[in-house]
Amino acid sequence: MRRCLNCMEEYPDQHGNTCPYCGFTEGEKESQPSSLRPGSILQRRYIVGNVIKAREQDLTYIGWDALFERKVQIQEYYPKKLAERKEGLLAKPYPDGEESYREGLKNFYSRSRELLRLYQEEDIVTYFACFEENGTAYGVMDYQKRETLGHRLQGRPVKPETAMGILQKAMAAVGKIHRIGIYHGMVGIDTFWITSQDKLIAKDFGGWLLSVPESGEEGLVGQISEEAGVREDIWGLARMFCRLVTGREILNSHMLEEALRSDRKLLGKAQAAALGRALDRKLQSLEQFQAELSQGEGAKAAIPLPLVIGGAVIAAAVIIIAVLILGGIV
């Protein structure tokens, strides 16, 4: 029997080098120069397959856990601007980037360890293990072939009420992360799976070494504080909401104002103001964001919302918590 390094299915030797399940032919697809060699073994139990996601700061592989006989995702800390790969395994930082590399490595490992605590949460990808090896660190997660929120929507705008329902679910997941003292770092429509029951699952954590200038472009300049990370997550949530409503990439309050000029009725004043402050990274907590979104005409009772995309109706339930401030926050 053989195991395909592209889909991790096992198949009889008679099929040769071509997997009958996914059609992948061993040796046909070259691995990325910076990635681990497919077939590498980690911790004497994890078989590393092909890269399924490559970002500036990390690589994610499909993998096989030989101990529990299950497919997994293996996320590897690998900031490609700060390190190089030696002999197909060892990650070695460049001399002029070693300090930043070590900062990010420490952040990656500590946050991965914290995420193990959220093992039972249904709206956060399950972390099974984290460890250091090959001069870097790894996080092992549940593997599911699900569509992302971005893939489901296909760039089509949705009604503000529907977008608010999605935002509430995303905020609930991110809030659980914040409560254990860490942040997501890469919140967006492509870092949430959406299930057939319309549940959101936060995934693809990042921001191990993240600084985002006014342009919105990422830069690897050093580890950010927890407070800055929380503001970054709130910015990501506001950006996601605006993308859902307008179908456009909106990075700050000025861009939001421009987008609303063509349709002033799209959002209430309170909602627009709260989103603008979040996009300008002026909000300190999810609770503050929730409170400002819920004020004035933006606060409505919970209603069921149909999400219509390409003729398909996706049922969603929305709970918007009205926060009243009368001599204190109730």
Q: Is the pLDDT of residue 316 over 50?
A: no
Q: Tell me the mean pLDDT in the region 54-65.
A: 94
Q: Residue 88 — very low, low, confident or very high, per pLDDT cuts 50/70/90? A: confident
Q: Are residues 187 and 309 in the same domain?
A: yes
Q: Residue 31 — very low, low, confident or very high, per pLDDT cuts 50/70/90? A: low
Q: Are residues 153 and 113 in the same domain?
A: no
Task: Quickly tell me which residue has 């967006």 as its tokens.
Answer: 188
Domain with residue 193: its CATH number is 1.10.510.10
Domain with residue 55: its CATH number is 3.30.200.20
CA distance 205 to 130: 14
Q: Tell me the mean pLDDT in the region 315-324.
A: 34
Q: Are residues 175 and 126 in the same domain?
A: no
| Final residue in a domain of this structure, among 97, 116, 142 | 142
CA distances from residue 86 to 27, 56, 90, 212, 257 in whole angstroms, order as listed? 21, 18, 5, 30, 49
CA distance 275 to 38: 44
Domain that holds residue 244: 149-317
Q: Residue 323 — very low, low, confident or very high, per pLDDT cuts 50/70/90? A: very low
CA distance 65 to 287: 39
Task: Quickly tell me which residue has 């503000």 as its tokens.
Answer: 160
Query: Alpha helix locations (H) across the chain?
Result: 98-115, 149-153, 160-179, 226-246, 253-260, 269-279, 286-294
Q: Are residues 177 and 64 in the same domain?
A: no
CA distance 81 to 93: 9
CA distances from residue 162 to 125, 202, 256, 319 in whole angstroms, order as listed? 23, 18, 18, 11
* Long-range contact set of residues 209-218: C-beta below 8 Å, sequence gap at least 24: 209/57, 209/79, 209/82, 209/100, 209/103, 209/104, 209/107, 210/57, 210/185, 214/252, 215/251, 216/251, 216/252, 218/56
Q: What pLDDT does residue 33 have?
A: 74
* Mean pLDDT over each residue of the chain, to the nearest integer: 85
Q: Tell me the mean pLDDT in the region 38-67.
A: 95
Q: Tell me the mean pLDDT in the region 82-87.
A: 90
What's the domain count of the chain? Answer: 2
- The CB density around residue 330, as the number of other CB atoms within 10 Å, is 8
Q: Take residue 306 and report the two structure tokens written for it.
A: 């149909």
Q: Are residues 153 and 136 in the same domain?
A: no
User: Can you state the angle between helices 269-279 and 286-294, rounded to 10 degrees?
Assistant: 160
* Long-range contact set of residues 323-327: C-beta below 8 Å, sequence gap at least 24: 323/290, 323/291, 323/294, 323/295, 323/299, 325/291
User: What's the residue count for the chain?
Assistant: 330
- The residues with which 219 forms a beta bridge, in sequence order, are 211
Residues in contact with 280: Cβ distance below 8 Å, sequence separation at least 6, in sequence order: 252, 253
For the stretch 254-300, pLDDT in tens is 999 999 998 878 898 999 999 999 999 999 999 999 999 988 444 34
For the stretch 166-192, pLDDT in tens is 999 999 999 999 999 999 999 999 999
219 within a domain of the structure (yes/no):
yes
| Final residue in a domain of this structure, among 107, 142, 177 | 142
Q: What pLDDT does residue 87 have?
A: 83
User: What letter would DSSP give residue 268?
Assistant: -
The mean-pLDDT minimum among 132-136, 235-239, 303-307 falls in 303-307
Q: Residue 328 — very low, low, confident or very high, per pLDDT cuts 50/70/90? A: very low
Q: What pLDDT does residue 262 have?
A: 84
Strand-pair category, 2-3 with 192-194: unpaired
48 within a domain of the structure (yes/no):
yes
Q: Are residues 187 and 302 in the same domain?
A: yes
- The dihedrals phi and psi of 31, each to the nearest 5 degrees, come to -75, 155
CA distance 253 to 272: 9
Q: Are residues 306 and 184 in the same domain?
A: yes
Q: What pLDDT does residue 77 have?
A: 95
Q: Tell me the mean pLDDT in the region 27-50.
A: 88
Q: Is the pLDDT of residue 13 over 90?
A: yes
For the stretch 215-228, pLDDT in tens is 344 444 455 678 88
Q: What pLDDT does residue 86 have?
A: 86
Q: Residue 311 — very low, low, confident or very high, per pLDDT cuts 50/70/90? A: very low
Q: What pLDDT does residue 167 have?
A: 96
325 three-state secondary structure? strand
- Position 243, amino acid: R
Q: Are residues 119 and 53 in the same domain?
A: yes
